[in-house]
């Protein structure tokens, strides 16, 4: 099947969209202010470039961000709407690539990152209808409703989960392809029940998956990419 990309939408440029999504993700449910340094690290750009873009986003009408020098930035209502719309595009595309075009789950993130800025609302609607108006992407993240309220999942990192307390994997961080392949190899995927048996501070956690008697060792770096909630 050939994926035909419709004409690019005009509500925001690709770079602006990347900034809005980064601020949304870094600010989290509390909508904390995001520093220029944190954005520079996330986006791989110089801090001076971040400052210039934040000033641009704050000067638009309506503004996309609320920005104060030395205090960082947070999204305005308009910026938050655009950011969540891009998140919806991204997660729908990931599922389309995975379920229809048969990409592996470690390939879909980068492809969706390229395409999310360019699809029309009509294309978005058709993809959603084709997939049955899905609720989750391949990595377990909630797909925001079209023109509806959006929110972060109520989950915490496996690394921070208490020893001996049952949990279920709700989603995994999807930005690193190599890490996703490792998570799949370890069978640490959404929907799987887990229990932390032991923690070795600053090194690893011992995790029992499902009803197995034996446990596996998971590095702290990998465990931090797994998000869990009570079963």
Q: Which two tokens stand for residue 81?
A: 């709407």
Residue-level pLDDT at 149: 78
Per-residue burial over 17-30, b = 16 or more CB atoms within 10 Å of its CB, e = otherwise: bbbbbbbbebbeee
The distance from CA 140 to its chain's CA centroid, rounded to whole angstroms, is: 10
Listed by start position, the domains of the chain span: 14-79, 156-229
Low-confidence ranges of the chain (pLDDT < 50): 1-12
Calpha distance 24→50 (Å, rounded) = 15
> What tens digit of pLDDT does each residue of 203-219 get?
999 999 987 889 999 99
Q: Where are the alpha helices (DSSP H) in the chain?
A: 14-27, 36-43, 47-59, 77-99, 108-115, 121-130, 177-186, 220-223
> What tens digit of pLDDT does each residue of 14-59 get?
899 999 999 999 999 888 999 999 999 999 999 889 999 999 999 9
CATH architecture of 14-79: Orthogonal Bundle (1.10)
Residue-level pLDDT at 210: 87
Longest Cα pair distance anywhere in the chain, in angstroms?
59
The answer to whether 39 and 19 are in contact (CB under 8 A) is: yes
Report the alpha-carbon angle 89-111-51, nearest 5: 70
Q: Which two tokens stand for residue 157?
A: 């990192």
CATH architecture of 156-229: Roll (2.30)
Calpha distance 224→231 (Å, rounded) = 19
Residue-level pLDDT at 150: 85
Residue-level pLDDT at 10: 37
How crowded is the C-beta side of 211, counted as CA atoms within 13 Å? 0
Calpha distance 23→39 (Å, rounded) = 7
Calpha distance 51→26 (Å, rounded) = 16
pTM, full prediction: 0.89
- What letter does residue 11 receive in the DSSP assignment? S
Does a cis peptide bond (omega within 30 degrees of 0) precede residue 62? yes
Q: Which pairing describes strands 65-68 and 72-75: parallel, antiparallel, or unpaired? A: antiparallel
- What letter does residue 29 receive in the DSSP assignment? T
């Amino acid at each position: 099947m050939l994926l035909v990309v419709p004409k690019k939408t005009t509500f925001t440029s690709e770079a602006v969209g990347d900034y809005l999504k980064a601020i949304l993700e870094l600010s989290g449910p509390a909508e904390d202010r995001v520093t220029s340094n944190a954005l520079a690290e996330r986006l791989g750009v110089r801090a001076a470039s971040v400052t210039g873009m934040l000033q641009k986003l704050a000067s638009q009408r309506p503004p996309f961000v609320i920005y104060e020098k030395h205090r960082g930035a947070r999204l305005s209502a308009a910026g938050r709407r655009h950011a969540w719309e891009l998140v919806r595009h991204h997660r729908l595309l990931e599922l389309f690539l995975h379920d229809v075009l048969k990409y592996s789950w470690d390939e879909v993130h980068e492809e969706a990152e390229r395409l999310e800025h360019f699809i029309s609302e009509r294309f978005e609607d058709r993809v959603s209808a084709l997939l049955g108006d899905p609720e989750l992407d391949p990595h377990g993240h909630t797909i925001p409703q079209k023109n509806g309220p959006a929110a972060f999942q109520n989950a915490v990192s496996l690394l921070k989960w208490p020893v001996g307390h049952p949990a279920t994997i709700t989603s995994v961080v999807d930005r690193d392809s190599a890490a996703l392949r490792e998570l799949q190899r370890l069978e640490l995927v959404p929907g799987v029940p887990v229990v932390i048996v032991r923690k070795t501070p600053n090194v690893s956690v011992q995790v029992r998956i499902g009803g197995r008697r034996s446990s596996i060792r998971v590095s702290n770096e990998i465990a931090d990419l797994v998000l869990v909630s009570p079963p």
